Amino acid sequence: MRFDMPGMTRDDVKVWVEDKMLVVKAEKKLNKKNANGGIGRGGEYEDDEWSAKSYGKYSSRIALPENVVFEKITAEVKDGVLYINIPKGDNNGRVLDINVE
Global pTM reads 0.67
User: Each residue of 41-95: pLDDT tens digit?
Assistant: 444 445 556 656 667 899 999 999 988 989 999 999 999 999 999 999 876 666 6
Strand 13-18 relative to strand 2-4, pairing: unpaired
Whether the per-residue pLDDT at 5 is higher than 80: the answer is yes
Q: Domain residues of the chain, as ranges? A: 2-85
Q: What fold does the segment set 2-85 form as a domain? A: Immunoglobulin-like (2.60.40)
What is the C-alpha to C-alpha distance for residues 65 and 69, in angstroms, rounded to an integer? 10
The angle formed by the CA atoms of residues 70, 73 and 76, to the nearest 5 degrees, is: 160
- 50 versus 7: which is more confidently predicted? 7
* Bridging pattern class, strands 56-63 and 21-28: antiparallel
